[in-house]
Chains A and B, each alone.
Chain A
């Protein structure tokens, strides 16, 4: 079956450290992968998109890697801040018209 897996347990880290979140998928060959941030009671907010032919993408303190051989994406937040606390979702475009399939998300808690 087709699956997208993200760590279901919350990730707790200290302010200033680098947070690393994992997204693994099976049986998909996505053209690209996206990461979103979601705060409680609100819609997801787009963060980064990485294409299948890209290994790494950066935006300010954010970095995403995409390994199509391992079928894995890693999402890094450097110099994390308490304001980074949220749920982070990865999503794959599996049919080419931006119909996204989402993972269940990983909750990140950054302590001061």
Chain B
């Protein structure tokens, strides 16, 4: 257990619906990342927060995606108008002091 929790663990939605995922890192993780992983592939970087500031966004993060980290604690990732191509595992990662990264269990999204 890395101490990073994600909610929900599974989400099934219909195309066109909005979904929101939550990540709770441990208090020592001032860095927080979101990655996306599809079957048979490694995780792909989506976005990065240093405390509450969003410092980097991947080109994978279209306008339908938005992430926040109010107060530098928990983070949310929202996908608007979901598409079938959004189906993936969404992984939240807390950054430790020595370049270690602690992955949460992920939220598996299925868009029908």
Q: Are B45 and A100 in contact (CB under 8 A)?
A: yes
Chain A residue, CB-CB nearest to B95: A98
Q: Are A101 and B56 in contact (CB under 8 A)?
A: no
B63 to chain A, nearest CB (A): 21
Q: Are A98 and B56 in contact (CB under 8 A)?
A: no
Q: Are A44 and B103 in contact (CB under 8 A)?
A: yes
Q: Scoring A residues 72 to 106 as 1 if CB is less than 8 Å from chain B, else 0, what string do you get?
A: 00000000000000000101010101111111110
Chain A residue, CB-CB nearest to B58: A99
Q: Are A98 and B41 in contact (CB under 8 A)?
A: no
Listed in ascending order, the chain B residues whose CB lies under 8 Å from chain A are: 2, 4, 31, 33, 35, 40-45, 48, 50, 55-56, 91, 95, 98-106, 108
Listed in ascending order, the chain A residues whose CB lies under 8 Å from chain B are: 4, 32, 34, 36, 41-46, 49, 89, 91, 93, 95, 97-105
